[in-house]
Amino acid sequence: MKKWISLVSIILVLMSCSNHDQNVHFDHIELVAPGAVGGGADLTARTMQHVLQQEVMDVPVSVVNKTQSQGEEAWRYVQQLEGGNVISGNSSLLITNHLLGQSQLTYKNFTPLAILATEWEVIVVPASSSIMTMKSLMDALKENHHPLKIGLSPRLGNDDHLSFVQAAQKAKVETSRLAFYVYGSSHGVLDALQENEVQVAPMSLSEAKDAYERGDVRILGVSAPRRLAEFNDVPTWKEEGIDVVFSHWRGLMGPPNMTQEEIDYWNQAIYKMVNTKAWKQLLKENDFYPFYKNSSGASVFLERQSKLYEELMSGK
Protein backbone atom coordinates (compact mmCIF):
# COMPACT_ATOMS: atom_id res chain seq x y z
CA MET A 1 0.00 0.00 0.00
CA LYS A 2 2.82 2.41 0.88
CA LYS A 3 4.53 1.66 -2.43
CA TRP A 4 1.26 2.40 -4.29
CA ILE A 5 0.81 5.73 -2.47
CA SER A 6 4.42 6.68 -3.24
CA LEU A 7 3.95 5.87 -6.93
CA VAL A 8 0.78 7.95 -7.11
CA SER A 9 2.56 10.85 -5.38
CA ILE A 10 5.42 10.75 -7.87
CA ILE A 11 3.01 10.72 -10.83
CA LEU A 12 1.10 13.70 -9.42
CA VAL A 13 4.34 15.67 -8.94
CA LEU A 14 5.46 14.94 -12.50
CA MET A 15 2.04 15.94 -13.86
CA SER A 16 2.21 19.17 -11.88
CA CYS A 17 5.66 19.99 -13.28
CA SER A 18 4.64 19.21 -16.85
CA ASN A 19 1.58 21.46 -16.57
CA HIS A 20 3.43 24.55 -15.30
CA ASP A 21 3.95 25.95 -18.78
CA GLN A 22 0.24 25.48 -19.63
CA ASN A 23 -0.55 28.41 -17.33
CA VAL A 24 1.53 30.72 -19.52
CA HIS A 25 -0.06 32.25 -22.61
CA PHE A 26 1.79 34.81 -24.72
CA ASP A 27 0.21 36.69 -27.63
CA HIS A 28 3.60 37.14 -29.24
CA ILE A 29 7.28 36.49 -28.63
CA GLU A 30 10.03 39.08 -29.10
CA LEU A 31 13.64 37.98 -29.50
CA VAL A 32 16.13 40.78 -28.86
CA ALA A 33 19.40 40.47 -30.76
CA PRO A 34 22.23 42.43 -29.08
CA GLY A 35 23.91 43.37 -32.33
CA ALA A 36 23.46 44.47 -35.93
CA VAL A 37 21.66 42.56 -38.67
CA GLY A 38 23.99 39.92 -40.08
CA GLY A 39 26.13 39.54 -36.95
CA GLY A 40 26.44 36.46 -34.76
CA ALA A 41 23.76 37.53 -32.27
CA ASP A 42 21.37 38.38 -35.09
CA LEU A 43 22.04 35.06 -36.80
CA THR A 44 21.25 33.18 -33.59
CA ALA A 45 18.00 35.12 -33.04
CA ARG A 46 16.78 34.67 -36.61
CA THR A 47 17.61 30.97 -36.55
CA MET A 48 15.53 30.69 -33.37
CA GLN A 49 12.70 32.71 -34.92
CA HIS A 50 12.55 30.37 -37.90
CA VAL A 51 12.49 27.15 -35.89
CA LEU A 52 10.17 28.38 -33.12
CA GLN A 53 7.58 29.61 -35.61
CA GLN A 54 7.81 26.58 -37.87
CA GLU A 55 7.95 23.77 -35.33
CA VAL A 56 7.41 24.84 -31.72
CA MET A 57 4.98 27.74 -31.23
CA ASP A 58 1.67 28.90 -32.63
CA VAL A 59 2.20 32.62 -31.86
CA PRO A 60 4.12 35.24 -33.88
CA VAL A 61 7.86 35.51 -33.16
CA SER A 62 9.68 38.73 -34.06
CA VAL A 63 13.33 39.79 -33.90
CA VAL A 64 14.39 43.26 -32.69
CA ASN A 65 17.97 44.43 -33.11
CA LYS A 66 19.60 46.66 -30.49
CA THR A 67 23.01 47.63 -31.81
CA GLN A 68 24.53 50.07 -29.34
CA SER A 69 27.26 49.62 -26.73
CA GLN A 70 28.37 46.01 -27.24
CA GLY A 71 25.03 44.54 -26.14
CA GLU A 72 24.32 47.04 -23.38
CA GLU A 73 21.36 48.64 -25.18
CA ALA A 74 19.65 45.28 -25.67
CA TRP A 75 20.22 44.09 -22.15
CA ARG A 76 19.06 47.30 -20.47
CA TYR A 77 15.91 47.16 -22.60
CA VAL A 78 15.13 43.60 -21.42
CA GLN A 79 16.09 44.30 -17.81
CA GLN A 80 13.36 46.95 -17.51
CA LEU A 81 10.57 44.64 -18.69
CA GLU A 82 8.18 42.39 -16.80
CA GLY A 83 6.89 39.07 -18.06
CA GLY A 84 8.62 36.43 -20.09
CA ASN A 85 7.59 37.04 -23.70
CA VAL A 86 10.59 39.28 -24.47
CA ILE A 87 13.95 37.56 -24.16
CA SER A 88 17.45 38.39 -25.29
CA GLY A 89 20.44 36.59 -26.63
CA ASN A 90 23.62 36.81 -24.59
CA SER A 91 27.25 35.84 -24.84
CA SER A 92 30.51 36.31 -22.96
CA LEU A 93 30.18 40.06 -23.67
CA LEU A 94 27.71 40.19 -20.77
CA ILE A 95 30.56 39.12 -18.49
CA THR A 96 33.49 40.95 -20.02
CA ASN A 97 31.65 44.28 -20.39
CA HIS A 98 31.21 44.28 -16.62
CA LEU A 99 34.78 43.21 -15.88
CA LEU A 100 36.13 45.92 -18.20
CA GLY A 101 34.10 48.56 -16.36
CA GLN A 102 31.88 49.22 -19.38
CA SER A 103 28.65 48.02 -17.77
CA GLN A 104 27.12 47.57 -14.34
CA LEU A 105 25.01 44.65 -15.56
CA THR A 106 25.82 41.01 -14.84
CA TYR A 107 23.95 37.77 -15.47
CA LYS A 108 22.50 38.16 -11.94
CA ASN A 109 20.39 41.08 -13.22
CA PHE A 110 18.46 38.68 -15.48
CA THR A 111 16.81 35.27 -15.54
CA PRO A 112 19.14 32.81 -17.30
CA LEU A 113 17.07 30.67 -19.65
CA ALA A 114 19.46 28.59 -21.75
CA ILE A 115 22.85 28.11 -23.30
CA LEU A 116 22.11 27.27 -26.91
CA ALA A 117 25.21 26.64 -28.96
CA THR A 118 28.89 27.33 -29.25
CA GLU A 119 31.62 28.09 -31.69
CA TRP A 120 35.12 26.81 -30.96
CA GLU A 121 38.29 28.85 -30.85
CA VAL A 122 41.32 28.07 -32.98
CA ILE A 123 44.89 29.35 -33.14
CA VAL A 124 46.21 29.96 -36.64
CA VAL A 125 49.53 30.83 -38.24
CA PRO A 126 50.36 31.55 -41.89
CA ALA A 127 50.72 28.41 -44.00
CA SER A 128 54.37 29.38 -44.59
CA SER A 129 55.14 29.62 -40.85
CA SER A 130 57.82 27.42 -39.32
CA ILE A 131 55.53 26.94 -36.30
CA MET A 132 53.90 23.56 -36.82
CA THR A 133 52.35 22.69 -33.45
CA MET A 134 50.90 24.27 -30.32
CA LYS A 135 53.97 23.09 -28.41
CA SER A 136 56.36 24.84 -30.77
CA LEU A 137 54.20 27.98 -30.55
CA MET A 138 54.26 28.00 -26.76
CA ASP A 139 58.01 27.32 -26.74
CA ALA A 140 58.49 30.31 -29.07
CA LEU A 141 56.35 32.51 -26.80
CA LYS A 142 58.59 31.68 -23.87
CA GLU A 143 61.61 33.14 -25.67
CA ASN A 144 62.41 36.74 -24.82
CA HIS A 145 64.60 37.83 -27.73
CA HIS A 146 62.07 37.35 -30.58
CA PRO A 147 58.57 38.04 -29.23
CA LEU A 148 55.77 36.91 -31.54
CA LYS A 149 53.09 39.40 -32.52
CA ILE A 150 49.57 38.13 -31.89
CA GLY A 151 46.68 39.54 -33.91
CA LEU A 152 43.03 39.56 -32.83
CA SER A 153 39.77 41.43 -33.35
CA PRO A 154 37.82 43.49 -32.53
CA ARG A 155 39.05 44.26 -28.99
CA LEU A 156 40.99 42.96 -26.03
CA GLY A 157 38.91 41.11 -23.44
CA ASN A 158 36.92 39.04 -25.94
CA ASP A 159 36.94 35.26 -26.28
CA ASP A 160 39.73 35.26 -28.87
CA HIS A 161 41.96 37.12 -26.45
CA LEU A 162 40.99 35.27 -23.27
CA SER A 163 41.13 31.80 -24.80
CA PHE A 164 44.70 32.49 -25.95
CA VAL A 165 45.64 33.81 -22.51
CA GLN A 166 44.23 30.71 -20.82
CA ALA A 167 46.10 28.40 -23.22
CA ALA A 168 49.33 30.32 -22.64
CA GLN A 169 48.89 30.20 -18.86
CA LYS A 170 48.46 26.42 -19.00
CA ALA A 171 51.71 26.20 -20.99
CA LYS A 172 53.55 28.26 -18.34
CA VAL A 173 54.00 31.26 -20.63
CA GLU A 174 54.44 34.63 -18.91
CA THR A 175 51.24 36.19 -20.24
CA SER A 176 52.15 39.75 -19.22
CA ARG A 177 54.76 39.69 -21.99
CA LEU A 178 52.37 38.66 -24.76
CA ALA A 179 52.21 41.24 -27.56
CA PHE A 180 48.64 41.63 -28.84
CA TYR A 181 47.73 43.76 -31.87
CA VAL A 182 44.07 44.64 -32.32
CA TYR A 183 42.35 44.88 -35.72
CA GLY A 184 38.86 45.94 -36.67
CA SER A 185 37.78 42.55 -38.03
CA SER A 186 38.92 38.97 -38.49
CA HIS A 187 39.53 39.80 -42.17
CA GLY A 188 42.01 42.42 -41.04
CA VAL A 189 43.74 39.87 -38.82
CA LEU A 190 43.99 37.34 -41.66
CA ASP A 191 45.42 40.02 -43.97
CA ALA A 192 47.95 40.94 -41.27
CA LEU A 193 49.02 37.30 -41.04
CA GLN A 194 49.66 37.18 -44.78
CA GLU A 195 51.65 40.42 -44.63
CA ASN A 196 53.64 39.16 -41.62
CA GLU A 197 52.47 42.08 -39.50
CA VAL A 198 51.54 39.42 -36.94
CA GLN A 199 52.72 35.84 -36.72
CA VAL A 200 49.85 34.11 -34.91
CA ALA A 201 46.15 34.74 -34.25
CA PRO A 202 43.34 33.32 -32.13
CA MET A 203 39.85 33.46 -33.66
CA SER A 204 36.67 31.44 -33.95
CA LEU A 205 36.74 28.47 -36.29
CA SER A 206 34.07 30.01 -38.51
CA GLU A 207 36.30 33.06 -39.06
CA ALA A 208 39.32 30.92 -39.99
CA LYS A 209 37.49 28.31 -42.04
CA ASP A 210 37.70 29.87 -45.52
CA ALA A 211 41.35 30.87 -45.18
CA TYR A 212 42.16 27.38 -43.92
CA GLU A 213 40.36 25.70 -46.82
CA ARG A 214 42.18 27.99 -49.29
CA GLY A 215 45.49 26.94 -47.74
CA ASP A 216 46.36 30.45 -46.51
CA VAL A 217 46.65 29.48 -42.84
CA ARG A 218 47.47 26.48 -40.69
CA ILE A 219 45.26 25.69 -37.72
CA LEU A 220 47.44 24.54 -34.85
CA GLY A 221 44.56 23.38 -32.66
CA VAL A 222 40.90 23.76 -31.79
CA SER A 223 39.51 24.43 -28.30
CA ALA A 224 36.83 21.71 -28.52
CA PRO A 225 36.83 18.71 -26.15
CA ARG A 226 37.36 16.32 -29.07
CA ARG A 227 38.27 16.53 -32.75
CA LEU A 228 35.55 17.88 -35.02
CA ALA A 229 34.33 15.50 -37.70
CA GLU A 230 34.65 18.05 -40.50
CA PHE A 231 38.15 19.10 -39.35
CA ASN A 232 39.43 15.71 -38.28
CA ASP A 233 43.03 16.58 -39.17
CA VAL A 234 43.05 19.45 -36.63
CA PRO A 235 44.08 18.36 -33.11
CA THR A 236 42.43 19.68 -29.98
CA TRP A 237 44.36 21.88 -27.60
CA LYS A 238 44.22 19.05 -25.07
CA GLU A 239 45.85 16.67 -27.55
CA GLU A 240 48.61 19.24 -27.94
CA GLY A 241 49.28 19.25 -24.21
CA ILE A 242 47.21 22.35 -23.38
CA ASP A 243 44.54 21.23 -20.90
CA VAL A 244 41.92 23.77 -21.99
CA VAL A 245 38.44 23.47 -23.48
CA PHE A 246 37.10 26.92 -24.38
CA SER A 247 33.60 27.57 -25.75
CA HIS A 248 32.54 30.71 -27.61
CA TRP A 249 28.92 30.31 -26.51
CA ARG A 250 25.54 31.84 -27.24
CA GLY A 251 22.75 31.90 -24.66
CA LEU A 252 19.35 33.28 -23.74
CA MET A 253 18.04 35.27 -20.79
CA GLY A 254 14.87 37.03 -19.79
CA PRO A 255 13.90 39.92 -17.51
CA PRO A 256 14.52 39.61 -13.78
CA ASN A 257 11.78 38.16 -11.59
CA MET A 258 10.31 35.81 -14.19
CA THR A 259 7.89 33.33 -12.63
CA GLN A 260 8.71 29.64 -12.39
CA GLU A 261 5.86 28.96 -14.82
CA GLU A 262 7.47 31.29 -17.38
CA ILE A 263 10.85 29.62 -16.88
CA ASP A 264 9.22 26.20 -17.33
CA TYR A 265 7.57 27.46 -20.52
CA TRP A 266 10.94 28.41 -21.99
CA ASN A 267 12.67 25.26 -20.76
CA GLN A 268 10.13 23.19 -22.65
CA ALA A 269 10.09 25.40 -25.77
CA ILE A 270 13.86 25.61 -26.09
CA TYR A 271 14.31 21.89 -25.43
CA LYS A 272 11.90 21.16 -28.28
CA MET A 273 13.68 23.66 -30.52
CA VAL A 274 17.23 22.36 -30.04
CA ASN A 275 16.08 18.81 -30.79
CA THR A 276 14.49 19.61 -34.15
CA LYS A 277 16.20 18.61 -37.38
CA ALA A 278 15.81 22.19 -38.60
CA TRP A 279 17.79 23.63 -35.66
CA LYS A 280 20.55 21.04 -35.99
CA GLN A 281 20.83 21.70 -39.72
CA LEU A 282 20.95 25.47 -39.25
CA LEU A 283 23.69 25.08 -36.63
CA LYS A 284 25.72 23.02 -39.08
CA GLU A 285 25.22 25.48 -41.91
CA ASN A 286 26.42 28.37 -39.74
CA ASP A 287 29.38 26.62 -38.05
CA PHE A 288 27.76 26.43 -34.63
CA TYR A 289 27.88 23.33 -32.46
CA PRO A 290 25.28 21.96 -29.97
CA PHE A 291 25.86 23.14 -26.41
CA TYR A 292 22.40 23.10 -24.83
CA LYS A 293 21.84 23.79 -21.13
CA ASN A 294 18.45 24.58 -19.61
CA SER A 295 17.72 27.43 -17.20
CA SER A 296 19.28 25.85 -14.11
CA GLY A 297 22.25 24.58 -16.13
CA ALA A 298 22.72 28.03 -17.65
CA SER A 299 22.79 29.63 -14.18
CA VAL A 300 25.57 27.30 -13.04
CA PHE A 301 27.46 27.76 -16.31
CA LEU A 302 27.31 31.56 -16.14
CA GLU A 303 28.55 31.57 -12.56
CA ARG A 304 31.54 29.41 -13.52
CA GLN A 305 32.25 31.45 -16.64
CA SER A 306 32.19 34.67 -14.64
CA LYS A 307 34.78 33.31 -12.21
CA LEU A 308 36.96 32.02 -15.06
CA TYR A 309 36.89 35.33 -16.95
CA GLU A 310 37.62 37.31 -13.82
CA GLU A 311 40.69 35.15 -13.17
CA LEU A 312 41.90 35.44 -16.78
CA MET A 313 41.44 39.21 -16.91
CA SER A 314 43.11 39.76 -13.55
CA GLY A 315 46.10 37.65 -14.57
CA LYS A 316 45.69 35.12 -11.75
* Distance of alpha carbon 250 from alpha carbon 246, whole angstroms: 13
Count of domains forming the chain: 2
Whether residues 135 and 113 share a domain: the answer is no
What tens digit of pLDDT does each residue of 12-66 get? 444 444 444 568 889 999 999 998 998 878 988 998 999 999 999 999 999 999 9
CATH number of the domain enclosing 55:
3.40.190.150
Whether residues 125 and 80 share a domain: the answer is no
Decide if 22 is inside a domain.
no
Which of 204, 231, 258 is the last residue before a domain boundary?
Answer: 231
Per-residue pLDDT of the chain (316 residues; tens, 9 = 90+): 544 444 444 444 444 444 445 688 899 999 999 989 988 789 889 989 999 999 999 999 999 999 988 889 999 999 999 989 999 999 999 999 999 999 999 999 999 999 999 999 999 999 999 999 999 999 999 886 668 999 999 999 999 999 999 999 999 999 999 999 999 999 999 999 999 999 999 999 999 999 999 999 999 999 999 999 999 999 999 999 999 999 999 999 999 999 999 999 999 999 999 999 999 998 888 889 999 999 999 999 999 999 999 999 887 5
Query: What is the value of pTM for the model shown?
Result: 0.86
Whether residues 175 and 213 share a domain: the answer is yes
Whether residues 296 and 259 share a domain: the answer is yes
Rounded to 5°, angle at Cα 154 from 47 and 41: 15
Q: Helices (H) and strands (E) in the chain — how many of each?
A: 11, 10
Decide if 19 is inside a domain.
no
Q: For residue 238, which amino acid is it?
A: K
* Distance of alpha carbon 131 from alpha carbon 129, whole angstroms: 5
Cα 13 from chain centre: 35
Distances 184 to 155, 187, 241 between C-alpha atoms, Å: 8, 8, 31
CATH number of the domain enclosing 181:
3.40.190.10
Whether residues 225 and 166 share a domain: the answer is yes
Decide if 90 is inside a domain.
yes
Which residues constitute the domain of residue 183?
119-231
What tens digit of pLDDT does each residue of 86-120 get? 999 999 999 999 999 999 999 999 999 999 999 99
Whether residues 125 and 222 share a domain: the answer is yes
Whether residues 275 and 303 share a domain: the answer is yes
How does DSSP classify residue 220?
E
Whether residues 114 and 256 share a domain: the answer is yes
